[in-house]
Amino acid sequence: MQADYERELLGFTGRERNYAVELTYVEEICFDIKISKIPCLPHYFIGMFHYRGAILPVARLEEQSKDEQKRQVLLVFSCNGYRLGVVIPGDPYVISFEELKRIEHPEQPEFEGIWKVQEILRAGRGLTFLLDVEKTVEAMVIYK
């Protein structure tokens, strides 16, 4: 793992929380994409996306009402040999780890679904929940 002062995070603002992921997991950011709906998927998956000749499952970070839907922004994560698309609310931004302060001994927040939080950080935009991409992707894998 890199030293904290060298790490950069990709942040995005949700309806109720700010989120971040380590840039090392982000393969690409895609805008205005078409997601194909697939029936009988777990509730956190919203469909599939055709990405560079492969079909990727797409999950949502948060529920969005139809009134709130802006343009679709999709992060393509690559982790432990798996690829996953995640629709995020709003446009992403880069956060330097130098701008953040760790929150010591926080209560573990209750997240719906399978999203795992690695740590909670304080930044200029308020609290930011750093998602643990490895544990989240591992929780989503049904067959190995």
CATH of the domain at 123: 2.40.50.180
For the stretch 78-109, pLDDT in tens is 988 888 999 988 889 998 877 788 887 656 65
Looking at the domain assignment, is residue 51 inside a domain? yes
3-state SS, residue 112: coil
Query: Strand 18-22 to strand 126-131: parallel, antiparallel, or no bridges (unpaired)?
Result: parallel
Looking at the domain assignment, is residue 3 inside a domain? no
Q: In which order are the strands placed within the sheet that holds 73-79?
A: 26-31, 73-79, 82-88, 54-60, 45-51
The per-residue pLDDT for 48 is: 92
The per-residue pLDDT for 1 is: 45
Confidence of residue 29 (pLDDT cuts 50, 70, 90): very high
Looking at the domain assignment, is residue 17 inside a domain? yes
Domain that holds residue 36: 9-140
Looking at the domain assignment, is residue 2 inside a domain? no
What's this model's pTM, rounded to 2 decimal places? 0.80
128 versus 41: which is more confidently predicted?
Answer: 128
